[in-house]
Amino acid sequence: MNKRLLSQQMGRKYRSMQRLFQIFENEAKDSIWKYTNLLLLKRVGLKLNEIGQLLDYLKSDQNLNFIDIGANLGVFSLTVAKSGRKVLAIEALYKNVQRLCMSISDGGLQIKTFTLDNLLEFDDIKYFKNVVIKIDIEGYEYKAILGGAKFFDNVNIKAIFMEWEFHKGKESGKGIIEFMLKRNFVPYSENGKNVLNTSESDKWGWNIIWKRKKS
């Protein structure tokens, strides 16, 4: 695909999603899409592609809801919520939680925000027995999943969209692979079509998808 065609397709996706809602950056009513668009230009549309892949996966099963670990300002959470799915947005930084709550209020949405600790104890977890998870917490993915062993054993996680760049050739990467394989997850490339070789995890792309094997 040539760069001009890719740019046109990105523009159409951007304009379509931009109309859904506004996300507040800082305490002013400035659209985060301005910031996101600059990031997309640097990463050749990476975030829009991720969101598109996620929405396509959710469309494959109407019973799936979404858990966003590392919600940041809520680009993924708000998009999925607007599509009609229930969302749990988990974010550790208080300032990001404040901004996300502003966006939720402005958009007329209902999204619960929690830290990962004791997530199974919340009443709302009853709505999240079948889920897709996005986890993007800047290299702390391994620590997050280690603290969620019980969660993995009690919730039917169909797929995990995970940022991998920080784990290439590192012990955290080996730990994640071991954890996931024990729970019958298989790593796929970002497009969700190609199974990845775990012995070559240092060559994996920036983002990967873990899919649980069908029983």
> What's the confidence (pLDDT) of residue 211?
96
Q: What average pLDDT does range 33-59 have in this prediction?
A: 63
Residue pointed to by tokens 């404040």: 98
CB 25 within 8 A of CB 35: yes
Mean pLDDT of 12-24: 49
**28 has pLDDT over 50:** no
Indicate the average pLDDT of the chain: 77
3-state DSSP helix/strand/coil % of the chain, to nearest 5:
50, 20, 30
pLDDT tens track for 188-208: 999 888 999 999 999 999 999
Choose the most confident range, by mean pLDDT, from 13-17, 109-113, 117-121, 160-164. 160-164
Classify the phi-psi angles of 139: left when phi > 0, otherwise alpha if psi is within -120 to 50, otherwise beta: left
Q: How many helices (H) and strands (E) does the chain have?
A: 8, 9
pLDDT tens digits, residue range 114-159?
555 567 888 888 889 899 999 888 778 888 888 778 888 888 999 9
207 - beta bridge partners?
A: 163
**Does pLDDT of 186 surpass 50?**
yes
69 contacts 133 by C-beta, under 8 angstroms:
yes
Homologous superfamily in CATH for domain 45-212: Vaccinia Virus protein VP39 (3.40.50.150)
Least confident range of 1-5, 91-95, 163-167, 200-204:
1-5
Q: How far apart are the C-alpha atoms of 189 and 43, rounded to whole Å?
A: 17
Task: Tell whether the model's pLDDT for residue 167 goes beyond 90.
Answer: yes
Cβ–Cβ contacts within 10 Å for residue 215, how many?
Answer: 4
What pLDDT score was predicted for residue 33?
Answer: 43
At residue 157, the pLDDT reads 92
**Strand, coil or helix: 65:** strand
